Homo-oligomer: A and B are copies of this chain.
Amino acid sequence: MSVANADISPTMLESSAVRDIPALDIDKCSPADRAQWVTNPPEPPGIWRDLLNSLRDTMFPNPTKLFSPKRNTGIALLGSLLQAFFPILSWGRRYSLSMFKHDIFAGLTLASLCIPQSIGYANLAKLDPQYGLYTSIVPPLVYAVLGTSREIAIGPVAIVSLLLPSLIGKIQDPAADPLAYRNLIFTTTFFAGIFQAAFGFLRLGFLVDFLSHAAIVGFMGGAAIVIGLQQLKGLLGLTHFTNKTDIISVMEAVLGSFRHENTRWNPLNFIIGCSFLSFILITRLLGKKNKKLFWLAVIAPLLSVILSTLLVFLTRADQHGVKIVKRVPAGLNPISACHLQFHSPQISQIATAALIVAVIALTEAIAVGRSFASMKGYTIDGNREMVALGCMNLAGSLTSCYTATGSFSRTAVNFTAGCQTAVSNIVMAVTVMISLEVLTKLLYFTPNAILASIILSALPGLIDFHQAYNVWKIDKLDFFACLGAFLGVLFLSVEFGLLLSIVISFAKIILISIKPGTEILGKLPGTDTFGDIHQYPMALNTPGVLILRVKSSLLCFANANFIKDRILRMISSEEDTSGKRAIQFLVIDLSNLMNIDTSGIGSLEELQNGLGGSGVELAIANPKWEVIHKLRVANFVGKLKGTVFLSVGEAVDACVAAKLGAMV
């Protein structure tokens, strides 16, 4: 019972590894001694101690690494601190020309995909095209300095571009006052950056895990369809459209546009959009079949933009109803720090929206980062990533960018193009900068329909039927969370779908934890192990002894009464059918119980009283630390009169011995 016992931390491992108990005489330990071990454990750590340990473990998971004795000289310490905060200092020293060759190719590839996508996503976010391009400059540069992922491609992404207008559009209609709306978007981005960086500094990386895998699959699928529906505006060349995102409002708006004369759709837009969409999809198919044509698939969107712009310019189709991008101002990101609206009356709504955007952006970036890191066999630190993403969005909000994050599709392209480090992001940002300086005039005649078709072509990657089927196969309840997110996003709103899936995920946790039930255990032949007789049909039962295990991990207010009644019913129904009582002992295996509350202890007491009435003796086996401690504090152990055992085996042995004793 040393002091170290109250301490549960990874460093405990060492103390336990060296602790070979010296002279404990095994022969002296009788089952009664062992029962004493159960009923008199050391005091478990209290709630404050527990909290403190979790906090320490969360904040300083690896205290030894940073301040290891090897490098505790002043300059070396400063160096390692700088490297900890700016990973570029660490990998930059090992950077070579051959790596740069790969990175420059990957960066240019990325830029060719990024420029048309950025304009399209800005369109989706109800901002002018240049803001999408701005967002592809500052955040990637900041991330390259601070981030730890080597493959991630930073910039505007579809989900965030959908989320922003759906959240901020409620506060300020973008059609009514585009400038005010834009300023609110910058403010939201600022707060999102603050939240992200704060999560990282406070080491709240686990918050990102609160969106379950199933929920993300459903959410992404639903969002992809919603984004696709929003593209109908550009694809059909509509002037009047809905601000809502749900499928019903959008379909009404589309059908309405077929009916009304003056807001009628224009087939030219549709023809341009669809033909280039087919082109992009066909090149992608070719690229998948033949790895050498990969570059064609990547260049296809940019090629489409160029070709369609030329087409419109030459035919002057814009005079025949083809909607075009028009003027995109030249020049780099203007400073937007003065546009942030900290004194807005809706500041709390903006902060809430920023929180949602921050979490979604983090979820996407960290999922992307993790999956590509694990492909290359390294791990990324979620908390440090959050700081990097937060800082880049903070910097972005001051330089006319909206919220950026890691893009699924572009990261895959970056990876396939052979990027080595975050330098590919720098190359991409520089390319976009050059385009902004010199090429914006060429975008004047770019048809909106082509932007829609570029976004549409990126969507199939977000809908993951295979994963959804996998979830269905493994866990039906998880699939409900997935379906809830999908349908919620599709038919209600983006936020509601998210909320629904979180609620379903946590409701599932509650359901599983308090699901009332018991299983009958039997001895597995040739071992001292007892298992569920349905899981192990070969398990043998001991005559006269019923061995039950509580199926839930908590015996608490929500299930204790039910379980107690059920056990008493089992015992009494057994009595009814056989006439005489075949069961003399009930052994309850408490090993599943992580915890118990006052209601749970109350039911155990009632169970003991109820069994006493029908002459069945109760024994409990294998309680966890917390549980036996609470049973002792509540004085239930005293009432059990020595029928607490270390294992089911010892409990059964004691029952059989007592039975034989009674016979003799």
Contacts and interface: CB of A to CB of B under 8 A. Distances in A.
Interface of A: 1-2, 5-6, 8, 10-14, 16-17, 19-21, 24, 26-27, 29, 34, 37, 41-42, 44, 46-47, 57, 61-62, 64-65, 206, 209-215, 374, 377, 379, 382, 470-471, 473-478, 505-506, 509-510, 512-514, 516-517, 519-520, 522, 524-529, 531-538, 540-541, 546, 551-554, 556-562, 565-566, 568-570, 573-574, 576-578, 582-583, 591-592, 594-595, 597-599, 601-602, 606, 609-610, 613, 622, 624-625, 628, 630, 633-634, 646-647, 649-650
Given A26-B526, A513-B512, A8 B598 contact: no
Contacts of A210: 557-558
19 contacts: A10-B566, A12-B520, A24-B525, A24-B538, A34-B526, A44-B534, A47-B477, A64-B573, A206-B558, A209-B557, A209-B558, A209-B559, A212-B557, A212-B599, A213-B602, A509-B509, A512-B594, A513-B513, A535-B628
Nearest to A11: B573
Contacts of A62: 569, 573
Nearest to A535: B625
Contact of A534 (B5, B37, B514, B591): B5
A283 to B, nearest CB: 33
B529 A646 contact: yes
Given A37-B536, A478-B598, A540-B21, A573 B633 contact: no
B526 A29 contact: yes
Nearest to A46: B476
Nearest to A480: B47
A516 B517 CA distance: 24
Given A41-B535, A541-B16, A599-B213, A647 B509 contact: no
A559 B559 CA distance: 24
Given A212-B597, A474-B598, 17 more contacts: A8-B534, A13-B520, A13-B573, A13-B574, A16-B520, A26-B526, A42-B537, A206-B516, A382-B561, A474-B601, A509-B513, A509-B558, A527-B647, A528-B528, A532-B625, A535-B628, A551-B594
B476 A47 contact: yes
Given A14-B574, A213-B598, A26 B592 contact: no
B577 A14 contact: yes
A519 B8 contact: yes
A26 B539 CA distance: 11
Contacts of A526: 26-27, 29, 34
